[in-house]
Structure 1
Amino acid sequence: MISGAAAIKFEWAMLGLTVPFVLLRLYSRCWITRNASASDIVVVLTWVLFAIGTSQDFATYRLGFFQDQQTYTLSLLDNFLDKENLVKVLKISFTNTIPYYGTLWGTKVSLLLLYYKLIPESIPILRLALHITSLVIGVSFFIVFCLNMFWCVPISRNWSIDKEDACFSFAARVPYFVTAALHLLTEFMLLILPFPLLKVLNLTPRKRVEVGALFALGGLCIVFTIIRIVEVGLAVNVATVGVWSTVEQAGGIIVVCAPALRGLGAQPTPQSQVDLESGQQPSIHGQGWWTAGRATPKRRDSGSPHEIIPKAFLRFSGTHQSENAWESLPDKQPSSDDITITHAQRVVPNDLSSQASAEDLNITKPEQTVQVQPA
């Protein structure tokens, strides 16, 4: 049997284990592949909920909880001697269900956002399945939240120390098993959903296996959930429940961070290859995490500093705009045949970094002469 002190240390260790995965995901998405999205925000918020839940467990441990033979049953009212601290422990345990289930469903939402980028609208049957999965996950979270919050009414019964009035909604049988069933159902839906997509992806057999293995990581969350359900059923020891609940949450966070880590081996995407207006990287092989790390098209060796930027995003690097409106339009730029540059006088400046004056260069075009102002 796991001791309370060992359980708390294990929870902090698992929280620390998830930190590098979250940071590496953010580094890969924000710096290397430059395709950060709402799913990254969800992952960060999910980790924050995980940290809050771990802190709450530590707070109850400091109050005398997580001791040997303590369970989430009414016998706790007799075994806990300090009644004032017992009320605090019960209040914290009641509110702890919010970050706990928030973490579990947060990982589901992060995967859903990933699937919405992966599954194209050109596959309507998969998009329909994705919409149904999203609806089921949303409804299931609402049911889980209501059951664990309002199973015992008034809510104050959750921290009552009177045996005849006490009721723990977070440990009641109906909320627990309904929550476990909905959790497993949605996990299976998320696990199965992306595999039909492998048939239509233009991937080599090796890449197909790699992507399939990443999808299959979701099966680890199901394994952890089943183990937790069995362990809680066999022994309702508080420390045991805390350990397996932590493993379940940490495993979910690691699984949702794993796909983005494929881009760590790639070179950072140059800022010049990003749309100057929207900030988005132009699509090369379509959108999706499986493209992370692929080589971008080779640059043309023309010597032009703007050559790697798409023409639609080309902007002039001068410090001032031209006085003539026609010169500021990309489709109205004069060609090399329309411009004649003649040197009126060759000037050799003493300072090599200086520029020729406006009188030194005469730039002409048909029917109009343009005087170039000094930069």
Structure 2
Amino acid sequence: MAYSDIHLPLPGFIALDWTLMAFALLPILIRISLRARSRTLHSPATNVSDTFIVLSWLSGCVLICINTWKNTTRMQYLSSPPQTLYYGVPPSQSGHLLYVSWISLFFIYISLWSAKAAFLAFYYSIFSLQGRRIRLALLVACVFTFFTFLLHMGLIAFWCTPVSANWSPPPGKPLCSAVHSINSVTISTIANITTDIVILSIPMHALWTRASKFGGTERAGLLFVFAMGGVSILAALVRFVCLKLVQGVPKASITHTIDVWALVEIVSSILAVCAPSCRAFVRMWGRREQRHGRLGSEEAVVAEGRCDVDGSTTESRGDKLEHVGLRIEQLVAEGK
């Protein structure tokens, strides 16, 4: 089965990249805004979590800046014959484009692992006092996450020898890349998904023991967090499947597939980390709207002059007076 790269005009890829990153910025701003307005003292773990989530977004921005530059460069040669181009540009420029593309791979995994680190710091801020067992689980998860991050950095940097084979292979040898080698991608995907599963499994025991205390809203919020984590895992699997389908195709051009699904994985990770803050923001906004609604209705009643000193309305008192008047008329008629 053959697979071809995602078909979308180059301006469309640029717009998609910036739209996704702008969408990911919104929950980060909500999270930081709630932190700034909170009167409680923030723990160091909370501050570390915020720092990592901002780093994740900034690394993603570096990635899409590089992607924007690449796609803008390719747009200059859309009218050129395809046989005269290599990776969308003339061969004389392909080496520099591939070198910059290789640099961008580091920012993919810096962004992804920063989001994972933000998750772990957030867990520590809420579970650090739950007991020795949960602290030990957090420590093991942190160490495992750190080593899987080093693994990915090593795969990108040292999978190809010499390193320049990533953008300028020796004469007679094909272009080398860790993200195009199915063996490297298999190692990367297993490590990535395993890390996500380890991180998502940490709060399961605590949440399971307290599940009976959660209402429908709380369960929906937790489901959203785990769903976003599941999207991140799904995106990693999709990238693996796409690369598996083209492993036997020479000079397979699947740059957009890798970039798009990497960005989806980054954005879903950011949403998962910021989901609790977004839920708190929605609840706070809902309570504010209800309070304003009650105040508005009371002000409207007073403004219309319908409220008496004792709290009853003039309409209700008028109804009572009308009822008394009818009763008096009835008694008078009976007396006659």
Fold match (TM-score > 0.5): yes
Match of 2:22 among 12, 16, 36: 16
Shift of 1:29: 1.7
User: Is the aligned partner of 1:173 residue 2:182?
Assistant: yes
Check if 1:187 corresponds to 2:200: no
Partner of 2:101: 93
Name 1:135's counterpart in structure 2: 143
SS of equivalent to 2:74: coil
Q: Distance between the aligned counterparts of 1:130 and 1:14, measured in 2?
A: 31
Note the C-alpha offset of 1:67.
9.3
State percent identity of aligned pairs.
21
Q: Which has the higher contact order (CA 8 A, sep 6+)?
A: 2
The Cα shift of 1:214 comes to 4.4
Shift of 1:83: 2.1
Task: Tell me, yes or no, if structure 1 residue 220 matches structure 2 residue 237.
Answer: no
The answer for the alignment partner of 1:304 in structure 2 is: none
More helix by share: 2
Aligned with residue 207 of structure 2, among 198, 210, 218: 198
Check if 1:37 corresponds to 2:47: yes
Which amino acid letter does the alignment assign opposite residue 213 of structure 1?
Answer: L
AA partner of residue 3 (structure 1): L
In structure 2, give the amino acid aligned to 1:169.
A
| 1:260 shift after superposition | 1.6
CA distance in 1, matches of 2:128, 2:88: 56
Tell me the distance in 2 between the aligned counterparts of 1:203 and 1:120.
22
User: Which residue in the other structure is 1:120 paired with?
Assistant: 128
Deviations 1:17-36 (Å, cap 9, x if unpaired)?
11111111110122146535
Deviations 1:283-340 (A, max 9, x none): xxxxxxxxxxxxxxxxxxxxxxxxxxxxxxxxxxxxxxxxxxxxxxxxxxxxxxxxxx
CA distance in 1, matches of 2:126, 2:214: 18
Letter paired with 1:230: V
In the aligned structure 1, how far is the partner of 2:84 from the partner of 2:141?
39
Aligned to 1:238: 255
Gaps of 5+ in 2: 1-5, 247-252, 286-336
Q: Which runs of 4+ in 1 moved over 3 A?
A: 32-36, 65-68, 75-81, 199-203, 265-268
Output the amino acid matched with 2:25.
Answer: V
Written as runs of structure 1 = structure 2, the 5 A alignment for 1:157-172 is 157-160=165-168, 162=170, 164-165=172-173, 166-172=175-181
Equivalent residue letter for 2:21: L
The answer to whether the Cα contact below 8 Å between 1:103 and 1:249 also exists between their aligned partners in 2 is yes
1:51 aligns with 2:56: no
AA at the equivalent of 2:183: V
**For the residues of structure 2 that align with 1:17 and 1:211, how far apart are their CA atoms?**
19
For 2:327, the equivalent position in structure 1 comes to none
Amino acid at match of 2:142: S
Hey, what's the Cα distance between the residues in 1 that align with 2:15 and 2:105?
20
Q: 1:154 aligns with which of 157, 162, 168?
A: 162
Offset at 1:114? Answer: 0.8
CA distance in 1: counterparts of 2:240 and 2:84, whole angstroms: 21
The separation in 2 between residues aligned to 1:77 and 1:132, in whole angstroms, is 48
* CA distance 1:37–1:200, shift in 2 (3 Å): farther
Distance in 2 (CA, whole Å) between partners of 1:215 and 1:237 is: 30
8 Å Cα contact 2:221/2:279 also seen in 1:
no
Partner of 2:270: 253
Q: How many residues are paired up?
A: 262
Does 1:2 pair with 2:11?
no
SS in 2 for 1:164: coil
Distance across 2 between alignment mates of 1:262 and 1:81:
46
Deviates more, 1:148-157 or 1:41-50: 148-157
Deviation at 1:198, TM superposition (A): 1.5
Give the drift of 1:80: 5.0
Alpha-carbon shift at residue 108 of structure 1 (Å): 0.5
Distance 1:221 1:44 in 2: 18
- What is the match of residue 271 of structure 1? none
Mapped partners of 2:91, 2:140: distance in 1: 47
Q: Which amino acid aligns with 2:245?
A: L
Structure 2 partner of 1:108: 116
Tell me the distance in 2 between the aligned counterparts of 1:181 and 1:212: 25
Instruction: State the match for 2:32 in structure 1.
Output: 26
Q: 1:267 to 1:82 in 2, by over 3 A?
A: closer
Aligned 8 A contact 2:225 2:273 in 1:
no
One-letter amino acid of the counterpart of residue 50, structure 1: G
Structure 1 residues 252 and 79: CA distance shift in structure 2, 3 A = closer
SS of 1:96's equivalent in the other structure is helix
Amino acid at match of 1:45: L
Name the TM-score, length of structure 2 as normaliser: 0.70
